[in-house]
Structure 1
Amino acid sequence: MNAREAIDARLPDLPRLPAALPRSGVSPEARLALRQILGDNERALAHAYHAGADVATLVHLRARAVGAVVVHAWRSCVGEAGECVLVAVGGFGRGLLFPQSDVDLLALGEPDALARQARALEAFFACLWDIGLKPGHAVRTLTDCRSLAADDVSVYTALMDARLLAGERYLADALAALVADPALWPAPAFIAAKRAEQSARHARYNDTTYNLEPNLKDGPGGLRTLDLMRWLGRRVADAGDFHAMVERGLLDRTECTALERAEATLWRYRYALHLAAGRPEERLLFDYQRRLAGEFGYEDEHATNLAVEQFMQAYYRAATIAERLGVQFLERCTELLEPATGSPRELDRDFVALGARVELREPDLFLRRPRAMVDVFVVPLDHPELRGLSAETMRRLQQALAHYGDGFAADAHVLGAFLALLRRGAPAVEALARMNRHGVLAAILPAFRRVVGRMQYDLFHVYTVDEHTLRVLRNVARYADADAAASMPLAAEVFAALDKPELLLLAALFHDIAKGRGGDHSELGEEEARAFCARMDLPEPDIDLVAWLVRWHLLMSVTAQRQDITDPDVVHRFAVQVGDRERLDHLYLLTIADIAGTNPKLWNEWKARLLADLHMAARYVLRADLGRPLHADERAVDCRARTRELLVEGGVDAMQAERWLDAFPQSSFLRHRPAQLARQARAIATAGPGGIVVAVNPQSSRGGSELFVCAPDRDGLFAAIAATLDRQGLGVVDARLLVGAEGRVFDTFELLDAHGGSALSLQRAGDLEAALRRVLEARELVARVARRSLPRRLRHFQRPPQIEFGDVEGATQLALVCSDRPGLLAEVAQALRESRVRVHDARIATFGERVEDFFVLTDENDAVLTEATRHRLRASLLERLGAESP
C-alpha cells in the first residue's frame, strides 16, 4: 500500500444510519447513537488530517456526513411532506464544513404548512442541538426570503449558496428562481453593497492582512475574500468557480492557479486551527501559533527565523495573494458592468485614461519597455482624478513581471525610473504602496520579497516587516502634510530642509530589509542598501549616507530611551557617532517614522519630546565643538542661574530663591530643566519646612504628566510610591530619584496612563496627589501591590529575567531585563525594599513585551552593595517575577 492509499484508507465512510420512521421523532437512545456517529466521524476525519489527507476532501466529507445525519433527523421528525423543505445555506450549502463550522439550515414552506409543522420543526432543531450540531437555523416562507434578502445583502448572499437537503424540489427551485431574479439585487447594486460590506469588515481588522493574530475567515485576504470572488462571479458572469472565471475572461490561468494554492493554504490553516481550538475559533491566536507551526513541520532556523515566524509568513503570503487578486477581480467585475464611455483621454506617450482608470496605449508596452511598469504608478500622481489601473492593465502588469523574472531588478532603465519616482519625495510614497500591492516593489528589490509576510514573534512589532516598512514610508510622507507643522513642527521643519528626500525614502525601504536572516539585520541591511544604491549610480556621498542610516537606524531610539540624555557625556558620545548635521537630521526623521510605524501604541508625546530634545542637544554639540563636551559643572551652574531668574521673574526675592535652591541636590541641576526646578521649588516653599511635597503637573514638557515628591527619606519610600502609582493605573516611563544633603528625597516621575498612554486630566492629577499624600503621611509606609492576572497576549511572551549588577560612582547599578506584566515596577520596588537597599536613580523603558529598567542602588549606609546583598536581591526579584533562581 503506497502513501496515498494509506491516507485514503483512513478516510471515513458516510455514517450508516437506520431507516427513519417518518414523524416518529428521534428517541433518546437514537439521539445518543447519532451523537456517537458524529463523534466517530469527527475523530476519523482528524486522524485522516494528521495522516496527511487533503483538506478539500475532508471538508466535503464532513459536510456529507453531517448532511446525512441532519436529513435522518428531518425525516424522523418532519417526514417527507412536500409542504416544506430543508435547505442548507452558507458554507454548508456549498457542501463544505470545517471541524467547527456552523451548520446553517433553512426550513422553507408556505405559511400554513409551516404552522402545521411547527412542533415537528421545533423537535427537529432540538434534536440537532441534543446531538451536538448547534445549528444556525431559520424558518421562512418564500415571501420572507425575498423581503429579508432585499433588505440585507448578507441574507441574499447566504441564499445564493442554498442547497436542497430534504423535501420536494419545487420549493427549492422557487427559491433558486427568487435568487436569480435580476430585479433582486441587480449586479451593480450587489457589487456596491458587497464592496461596502467588505470595507466595513476589513476596518475591524485595521485594513491590513498583517495582523499578529489574523482572522482566517473575515480578515483581509481571508477565506471570505475568496467567497466574495465566487459570489461576484456568479452574479456578474454566471461563473461560480475559478475555472469558470477563466473561461469568462475574469481570471487568467496563472491567477487561477495562484488562487487555488492560496485557498489550499488558508483551508489547511483553518482546519488545523479548528482542531486545535476545539471550538469555532477563526482567529489565529498566539495560543495556537507555536503549536501549529510544529504540526506543520516548521523548525527554528536561528533566533531571528523561528518556526512560528516561518509558519506565519506562509499564511501572510497566501493571504496577500488572495487580497491582491481579490482587489483586481473586483475591479474587473466593476469594469464589466460599468465600461468606460467615450474616447480614451491622452495622458502621455504610453498611457491613456479610460474613465477614471489608466490603460496602456499599446497592449505590449510592458514587454517592450519594462520601465513603464514603474511609470504606470507615476501617472496617478500627475493626474489625481484617476482612481487607479484598469483591470486589463493590472493583468498585463502581472504577466510582464512573470516574463522578466529576476532580470527586471537588473534593468538600468527600470532603476532609473525608480530613482526618478523617489526624487518626487513625499508624493512617491503612495506610488510605492501601490507598487507593493501589485508586486512591483518586490520585483525591483528582490531582498524586499524575502520579508514579505515576515513577522516577528513578539508584541513590540505588531506588523510584518513589509507592512511596517510601508507604514514607515507613510510616516515620512506625513512630514510634508500641512497638519505636520502643527503636530510635528520640528520634524516638518527638518524634512522641508532636506536637499534629497529620496535618500530618506531609500533608508526607510532598507532599514529592516535583512530581518530574519540571522546576524545583525542592520549590518546586513547596510550591505544591501550600499549595493542597490550603487546599481542606481548614486554619488558616493549619497550612498554613504543611506548605508549609514540603515546601519545605525536604531542608534537614536536606543540612546533616547535607554540612556540619560540629560547627561552631557551621553549627548556628546551620540553626537560624535553621528558626526554631522545632515546625518543627524535624517536619523531624527527616520527614527520617528520607525517608532510610530512599529506599533501604534508605542508613539506618544513623551517619546516625541525625548527625541526632539536629543536632536536639539546633539545639534548644539555639533554646532559648538564636536571634540569637547560641555562640562558638567558649567552646565549645572548655568541651569541654577536660569532657574533663579525664573523664580525672580515670578516675584521671588533673589536671596530667597537662592535659599530655596540650596536645598536641592547638586545633581538636580544636571538632570532637570530650569522651568521644572522652578516649579518644584515653589511646591517645596508652599509645603513649608520639612513638609511632604506631592505635586503633579498634568501636562509636562515631555508629553506626559510629571509627579514630584519631596519628603524625608525612609526605607520603603520608593516601594510605597510605586505601589500607589500602580493602583492608580499609571505607568512610569522615566524616574529621577535623588537625595538631598538633609536626607530628603527629590523624586521626579514621568507618568502616562497605563492603558491609553496619555497624560492625566486635572481631576485625575488631583486624585493622585491626595492618594500619595495619604500614603506618605502615614506613620508606617505600606506598599500594597495590586494582584492582577497576566493578560492573555503577554502570557505567550514571558522570558526569564536577566539581572546584572555593576559599580558606578560609589553605588551599584542594577540592570533588569524581563517581560512586562501588570504591576511590574511595584513588584520590583517591593523586592528592593525587602532587600533593604536604597534607590538613588532609575531609568524605566518598555519595548512591546520587553522591559529594560536600570536602578542606581546603595545599601542602608549608602555604600555599594555587597555580594551577599546582591545575591539576596536577585533571589527576591526572581521570586516576585515568578522565575526560578539559577
Structure 2
Amino acid sequence: LVLLPSGPDPALAAKLENLIGRLWDLGLEVSHSVRTIEQCVEEADRDVTVRTALLESRRVIGSRTLFQEFHRRTREHYDRRAFYEAKRLEQEQRHAKYQDSPYSLEPNIKESPGGLRDLQVIRWISRVCALGEDWAELASRGFITPGEAREAARRERFLQRLRIRLHYAAGRREDRLLFDYQDRIARELGYRPSATRRASEQLMQHYYRTAKAITQLNTLLMQNLAAAIFPSQDDHVEAINPRFRKVRDLLDAATEDLFERDPHAILESFLLMQQRPDLTGMTARTLRALWRARSRIDKAFRRDPVNKANFISILQQPRGIVHELRRMNQYGILGRYLPAFRRIVGQMQHDLFHVYTVDQHILTVVRNLRRLTMVEHAHEYPLCSRLMGGLERHWLLYVAAIFHDIAKGRRGDHSPLGRSEARRFCRSHGLAPQDTELVEFLVEHHLTMSSVAQKQDIFDPEVIRRFVEIVQTERRLTALYLLTVADIRGTSPKVWNAWKGKLLDDLYHAAHRLLRGEELGSDDDIRAKQEEAMRLLRLYGLSDGVQESLWKQLDVAYFMRHDAQEIAWQTRQVHYRVNSEKPVVKARFSPAGEGLQVMIYTPDRPKLFARICGYLGSIGCTILDAKIHTTRHGYALDTFQVMGTTRTPHYREMIALIEHDLADALAPDAPLPPPIRGRISRQLKHFPIQPEVHIRPDERGQYHLLSIIAGDRPGLLYNVARVFGQYGINLHTAKIATLGERAEDVFVVSGEALANPRAVLLLEQDLLEMLH
C-alpha cells in the first residue's frame, strides 16, 4: 500500500509505476494499491478482506504522522460486532473447506483448522475491538492466562518457522505441507528417523499437536471475545446438579477448581453433554479447567469404579457419542484415560490408503458405526442399518473400533497387539466374558473379512467354509461385517466403492447361510439359481428352452460363480450365437450400483486377457474384478467389473464405445500394444511400495495362486497380463484390490510353466522387474 495525503499528480504516478515495474523485474510479484486515507476507509467498508488486510499495516518508510492518522481512522471506523460476526463466519467456511479437521496428511499450515489463520483471526478481532494488540496484552486483560499466552506465541513461532522452510523448499509461496517437502524440512528442523518412525512422521506429529493446541486456544478466545463484544444483560443460570450449571446454553463448572476437587466430574461433564440436548457446548472456563485437569487422570483415576462406569456410559448413550469422543480427544482427556490411544494421537499412516492420522481414523470408524444406528441415515446402507438395529449391545462395536488400530506404529502385527489392549480394557471395565471375547475377536480379525472378500474367490464353498471356521457364530459374523464396512469407509473416500460393498454383502450372506446349516454349491443350490435365471428370461419374453444351447456348454463352476441376474443377462446376449466366431461384447450399468459390467464372449485364444486389459486401460477404465470362464467348447465367457475416471466419457457413452471398439481390439492378428509405463503418483514417489510376487498351489492342487503387491499405476494390470501371455499362463480368476495407491491383486492361474520350478522363478523375476 502506498498511502498518500491526496491523489497523485502525473509525475508521482509515473514514479510509482516505475517502482512497481522494477519490483516485478526483480521477481517480486507485489500486490499493490495507491490510496488516500479516505479511499482506504471506503474500500474497508465495502470489503471485509480489505478491512482485515489494513489491520496488518506496518510503516516501512514515510510520514509517521500520516501513518498514525491512517491507523486511527481505520480502527475507529469499524463496527466491532459486524467485524466479529464476519470473521466468525469466514472461519467456519474456511474450516468446512478442510472438512473441519487439522489432521490432513498434507495440511495447509496457513488455512487449515489449527493453522496460522486461526491465530490471526483472534489478533484481528482483538485489535479491531481494542481488546489487545498481542498475546501478552490479551492475557493482561484476562482473556487468556499468561501460560496460554506463552503457548500461543510458541505455537505461532513454530508455524512461522515451518512456513518459511516450506517456502524455501518449494521455491515459491506454498502453504501446503506436501509429501514432497516433509522429509527435507524435518531434517532441516533437526528431526531424526528412528527404528519405527520416519523423521517426517515426527515432524507431522509435532505439527498436529500444534494445530490441536491452536484449535483449543481459538475456541477459548473466540468465546471470551464474544462475551466482551456482545455483553448479555441477562445471563440466565440454571443449576443442573451440585457440580454443573447451564449458562447461555453452555455447560459450566460450578466452581473454577471443580475438577481438581472432584476428578469424577471430568468424565461426568462429557456425559452431561450427551444427556442434555439443550446444551450446545462448554464455557471457556470449563474447557480451560478440563485442559488443566487432564494431569489428574492417572492410574488411580483409571482404576476408580465411578470413572469406569462413566466412560462405559458415554459409549452407551443414544446421542452425542462421536461429538464427545472428539471433544475428549481434542482436550487430551481420551488419551489420558486410554494411554494406548495417547500414543497414536497425531500419528501418520504412510500406507497410501489412509488419509487420516490413526486417532482420527479410529474416531471416523466410530462415527460410521454410529450412523448405522440413526434412522435418518438408514437409506445409505440398508442391510448394515438393519443388522445394527438387531445386534445386541451394539455399543461393543464402538469399543472394538477404538482398539482395532490402537497398536499401529509398534513393532509387530498391530492386530494381536490391539487384542491384548482390548482384553485389558474389557476386563478392567467389568464386561461380561462373552462380550470381552467378541471385542477381542473383532480387534484381532478386523482385516479378515475385507481380505477374504477382496482377495479370494467367495463363490468357492471351500473359501466360505474356511471363513466360517474363523467367525464361528452369527453374532461374530454380523459384528465383523459391520466393523469391516465402517473401517473401509473410514480410511479414505477413494477406497470405498459399491463393488467392495457388494463383495462384502455376498460374503456375509454366503457365510450366514452356511452358519444356518444350508449347503453351498449343492445341486439344489445351482438348480434354484438356474430357475431364478429362467424366471428373469421370461420377463424379457424368452421362452423356456432358449438357454439350452448355451447352458450345456457351461460347467458347474460357472453357475457357482455367477448369480442368477448375471446368468440371465449373459444368456440373453449369447443364446442365439453360441458358436459365433465374431466376438460378442456387451456392457451395462453394474448391478452393484456403480461402474459398468462388461461381458466378452469369443473363441478363446492366447493373450486374450492382455488384449482386454490393454483396451480397457487405454480408455481410462479401472478393472475392479474379472471372472474368467472357458466353456466346454473352447469359448471365453469373461465378465469384468470396471470403473471410469475423470478423463473417461459419461457411462452411457462408454457403453457404446466399449461394445463397438473392444470387439475390434480382440482381433487375433492385431499386435499387442507395448507395455504401458504409467506415471506414478506423487505419494508413491515419496513412499514407494516394495513390489512382491508370490506363487503357490491352491489347496486342491488344481490351480496356482499368484499374488502381487505393488504401487498402483495406469497400465499395471495390462503389463501383468502381457507377462502371463509370454509364459502361456491361463487365467481363471482375477481379484483386483486397489487400496488407495496400493495394488494387492490375486490371480487363480494354470499352465505348463507352473509345473517347472525354473520357469516359476523366471516368471517371478520378470513380474518383479515389470513392477519396479
CA contact (8 A) 2:122 2:222 kept: yes
How big is the shift at 1:631?
5.4
Identity across the alignment (%): 37
Determine the structure 2 residue equivalent to 1:171: 66
Determine the structure 2 residue equivalent to 1:707: 598
Which of 625, 643, 652 is residue 734 of structure 1 equivalent to?
625
Write out per-residue CA displacement over residues 362-397 of structure 1, whole angstroms, 9 at most, x where no aligned residue: 333322322222222233433333321111221222
Secondary structure of 1:747's match? strand
Aligned equivalents of 1:688 and 1:541: distance in 2?
56
Aligned equivalents of 1:200 and 1:193: distance in 2?
11
Residue 748 in structure 1 maps to residue 639 in structure 2: yes
Residue 109 in structure 1 maps to residue 1 in structure 2: no
Aligned equivalents of 2:394 and 2:532: distance in 1?
39
Aligned equivalents of 2:732 and 2:535: distance in 1?
28
How big is the shift at 1:684?
0.8
CA contact (8 A) 1:425 1:501 kept: no
Determine the structure 2 residue equivalent to 1:681: 571
Write out per-residue CA displacement over residues 780-804 of structure 1, whole angstroms, 9 at most, x where no aligned residue: 3544666643333332233332122
Which of 73, 89, 102 is residue 209 of structure 1 equivalent to?
102
CA contact (8 A) 1:705 1:750 kept: yes
Residue 544 in structure 1 maps to residue 434 in structure 2: no
Distance 1:270 1:874, change over 3 A: same
Aligned equivalents of 1:408 and 1:234: distance in 2?
42
1:762-773 paired onto structure 2 within 5 Å? 762-773=652-663
Determine the structure 1 residue equivalent to 2:257: 364
CA contact (8 A) 1:811 1:864 kept: no
Determine the structure 1 residue equivalent to 2:697: 807
1:73-472 paired onto structure 2 within 5 Å? 106-113=1-8, 115-181=10-76, 183-184=77-78, 186-303=79-196, 305-340=197-232, 341-404=234-297, 407-425=300-318, 427-472=320-365
Aligned equivalents of 1:849 and 1:736: distance in 2?
23
Distance 1:513 1:782, change over 3 A: same
Secondary structure of 1:113's match? coil
Determine the structure 2 residue equivalent to 1:502: 395
Aligned equivalents of 2:131 and 2:298: distance in 1?
34
How big is the shift at 1:207?
2.0
* AA at the equivalent of 2:46: D
How big is the shift at 1:676?
0.9
How big is the shift at 1:846?
0.9
Secondary structure of 2:34's match? strand
Aligned equivalents of 1:446 and 1:852: distance in 2?
34
Determine the structure 1 residue equivalent to 2:380: 487
Q: CA RMSD in A?
A: 2.5
* AA at the equivalent of 2:707: A
Secondary structure of 2:378's match? helix
CA contact (8 A) 1:712 1:744 kept: yes
How big is the shift at 1:249?
0.9
Residue 796 in structure 1 maps to residue 686 in structure 2: yes
CA contact (8 A) 1:549 1:587 kept: yes
CA contact (8 A) 1:844 1:854 kept: yes
Write out per-residue CA displacement over residues 57-94 of structure 1, whole angstroms, 9 at most, x where no aligned residue: xxxxxxxxxxxxxxxxxxxxxxxxxxxxxxxxxxxxxx
* AA at the equivalent of 1:550: V
CA contact (8 A) 2:109 2:163 kept: yes
Aligned equivalents of 1:426 and 1:598: distance in 2?
24
Query: TM-score, with normalisation over the residues of structure 2?
Result: 0.94
Secondary structure of 2:59's match? strand
CA contact (8 A) 2:7 2:36 kept: no
CA contact (8 A) 1:571 1:618 kept: yes
Distance 1:781 1:674, change over 3 A: farther
Determine the structure 1 residue equivalent to 2:423: 530
* AA at the equivalent of 2:71: A
How big is the shift at 1:469?
1.3
CA contact (8 A) 2:418 2:444 kept: yes
CA contact (8 A) 1:704 1:759 kept: no
Distance 1:170 1:294, change over 3 A: closer
Aligned equivalents of 1:598 and 1:592: distance in 2?
10
CA contact (8 A) 2:256 2:285 kept: no
1:684-695 paired onto structure 2 within 5 Å? 684-687=574-577, 689-690=579-580, 691-695=582-586
Aligned equivalents of 1:849 and 1:633: distance in 2?
42
Distance 1:143 1:575, change over 3 A: same
Aligned equivalents of 1:198 and 1:428: distance in 2?
25
Which of 513, 533, 558 is residue 643 of structure 1 equivalent to?
533
Distance 1:298 1:342, change over 3 A: closer
Determine the structure 2 residue equivalent to 1:53: none
Aligned equivalents of 1:769 and 1:579: distance in 2?
45
Determine the structure 2 residue equivalent to 1:45: none
In the alignment of these two chains, the number of paired residues is: 768
Determine the structure 2 residue equivalent to 1:39: none
Distance 1:719 1:783, change over 3 A: farther
Aligned equivalents of 2:250 and 2:474: distance in 1?
44
Aligned equivalents of 2:236 and 2:531: distance in 1?
76
Aligned equivalents of 1:366 and 1:339: distance in 2?
27
Aligned equivalents of 1:422 and 1:510: distance in 2?
13
Q: Which has the larger radius of gyration?
A: 1
Distance 1:399 1:792, change over 3 A: closer
CA contact (8 A) 1:309 1:454 kept: yes
Of the structure 1 ranges 461-470 and 344-353, higher mean CA displacement relative to structure 2 is found in 344-353
Write out per-residue CA displacement over residues 24-55 of structure 1, whole angstroms, 9 at most, x where no aligned residue: xxxxxxxxxxxxxxxxxxxxxxxxxxxxxxxx
Unaligned runs of 5+ in 1: 1-105
Determine the structure 2 residue equivalent to 1:18: none
Write out per-residue CA displacement over residues 190-235 of structure 1, whole angstroms, 9 at most, x where no aligned residue: 1211112222222332221111111111111111222222222323
Of the structure 1 ranges 588-597 and 125-134, higher mean CA displacement relative to structure 2 is found in 125-134
How big is the shift at 1:254?
3.0
Secondary structure of 2:586's match? strand
Aligned equivalents of 1:840 and 1:558: distance in 2?
19
Unaligned runs of 5+ in 2: none
CA contact (8 A) 1:842 1:853 kept: yes
Distance 1:858 1:781, change over 3 A: farther
Write out per-residue CA displacement over residues 535-559 of structure 1, whole angstroms, 9 at most, x where no aligned residue: 2222222222222211111111111
Distance 1:413 1:114, change over 3 A: farther
* AA at the equivalent of 1:596: R
* AA at the equivalent of 1:279: R
